[in-house]
Amino acid sequence: MPRAVSDFQSRAAGTAGSAGSAGPAGSGGPAGTAPAGHAIPHLVLALEPLVEGVLLKRYKRFLADVALADGQVVTVHCANTGPMTGVLHPGGRVRLRHAPSPTRKLAWTWEQAETTGADGAPVWVGINTALPNRLVRATIEAGCLEPWLGPIAAIRAEVPYGEGRRSRIDLLLSPGPDPDGAPPADPRPIYVEVKNTTWSEGDLALFPDTVTERGQKHLLELAALLPTARAVLLPCLSRADVSRFAPGDTADPRYGELFRQALAAGVEVLPCIFEFSGEAVHWLGLASVLERQPT
């Protein structure tokens, strides 16, 4: 399992501000403004050693065959059930986690894929959809998002909410006192929905890359939380070559419509940029937000 690198005493507020001061949507700045640049990389997760291989094929959504350096071909679990637009390259390099267990059918999990980045250089992309919730939690615990979320006293995961409490929010945050001990400026609970984002066009990250009725439902549920709570959509941009975020209108027009409605209602959007290596994941700052995918 990845290990969170928590650092509550080092809040990195100045570092974070340099990347997001141009205004993620709902945070007080204009949507669609380019950020000042990536923040100084902040280590948020240390990874277990990963094994490199070459992707042979992906099939049945959850499976892929990968050739290792010793010539062995292994079948690996692919947690990403989407089309993986732009990052699925048979013959390309991938990174795997080896975690044999009596409770697992497969001993290998596909964690990262290499693709061509916005500048033409190779970039590693985090494709395991089981990782972003832990990654975002570690980022919050490290204080990287305090300039936008405020001090956080407690974090709960997978909390029931919505109509009939039939849905579960990824993270529910309880605001904490200011450093001087003053009560939170905004005491409302903060509901955070995390979306792993791997599709990009140049430096523009896009979500979703296919029709997602579940994602549409999440936008409606986030908007319904207002105004008694804060509602945050947090796209986890799992590649270091992007600096902007927009809804994937061409893949799911309805999601794009609901995204814009959610923005207008007051849902906050905080797209976090992450850099993936074979040993760790670093937070690079916030991307700016466009209300729609450029045509």
Instruction: Enumerate the β-bridge partners of residue 234.
Output: 194
Please indicate, yes or no, whether residues 30 and 114 belong to a single structural domain of this protein. no
Domain extent for 257: 3-46+129-289
Average pLDDT over residues 256-261: 99
Closest by CA to 186, choosing from 230, 237, 128, is 230
d(CA 272, CA 46) in angstroms, rounded, equals 17
Please indicate, yes or no, whether residues 197 and 226 belong to a single structural domain of this protein. yes
d(CA 154, CA 147) in angstroms, rounded, equals 17
235-271: burial string, b at 16+ Cβ within 10 Å, e else: bbbbbbbbbbbbbbbebbeebbebbbebbebebbbbb
pLDDT digits (tens, 9 = 90+) for 170-188: 999 999 999 889 999 999 9
Here the CATH number for the domain that contains residue 98 is: 2.40.50.580
CB 207, CB 80: distance < 8 Å: no
* Residues comprising the chain, all counted: 295
Cβ-defined contacts of 28-34 (< 8 Å, 24+)? 31/263, 31/269, 31/288, 31/289, 31/290, 31/291, 32/244, 32/288, 32/289, 32/290, 32/291, 33/288, 34/243, 34/244, 34/288
pLDDT digits (tens, 9 = 90+) for 113-155: 999 999 999 999 999 999 999 999 999 999 999 999 999 999 9
Residue that is last in its domain, among 60, 84, 118: 118
d(CA 277, CA 268) in angstroms, rounded, equals 29
Cα–Cα separations (whole angstroms), residue 104 to 100, 101, 107, 168, 288: 7, 5, 7, 25, 39
Average pLDDT over residues 71-91: 96
Please indicate, yes or no, whether residues 160 and 27 belong to a single structural domain of this protein. yes
d(CA 221, CA 106) in angstroms, rounded, equals 35
d(CA 150, CA 175) in angstroms, rounded, equals 7
The reported pLDDT for the residue numbered 65 is 99
Please indicate, yes or no, whether residues 144 and 208 belong to a single structural domain of this protein. yes
pLDDT at 29 over 60: no
pLDDT at 262 over 80: yes
Three-state SS letters, 137-164:
HHHHHCCCCHHHHCCEEEEEEEEEECHH
pLDDT digits (tens, 9 = 90+) for 43-67: 999 999 999 999 999 999 999 999 9
Please indicate, yes or no, whether residues 77 and 197 belong to a single structural domain of this protein. no
Instruction: Enumerate the β-bridge partners of residue 286.
Output: 272
State the Cα angle at 246 between 244 and 251, rounded to 5°: 135
Please indicate, yes or no, whether residues 33 and 60 belong to a single structural domain of this protein. no
Here the CATH number for the domain that contains residue 261 is: 3.40.1350.60
Please indicate, yes or no, whether residues 262 and 152 belong to a single structural domain of this protein. yes
pLDDT at 228 over 70: yes
pLDDT at 14 over 60: no
Give how many domains the chain has, as a whole number. Answer: 2
Please indicate, yes or no, whether residues 270 and 169 belong to a single structural domain of this protein. yes
Please indicate, yes or no, whether residues 37 and 57 belong to a single structural domain of this protein. no
Cα–Cα separations (whole angstroms), residue 12 to 55, 143, 161, 258, 285: 38, 6, 31, 33, 11
Place of tokens 């990824």: 170
pLDDT at 3 over 50: no
Structure tokens at 50: 């990963």
The reported pLDDT for the residue numbered 26 is 64
Residue that is last in its domain, among 118, 138, 164: 118
State phi, psi for 156 to the nearest 5 degrees.
Answer: -120, 145
CB 117, CB 215: distance < 8 Å: no
pLDDT at 220 over 50: yes
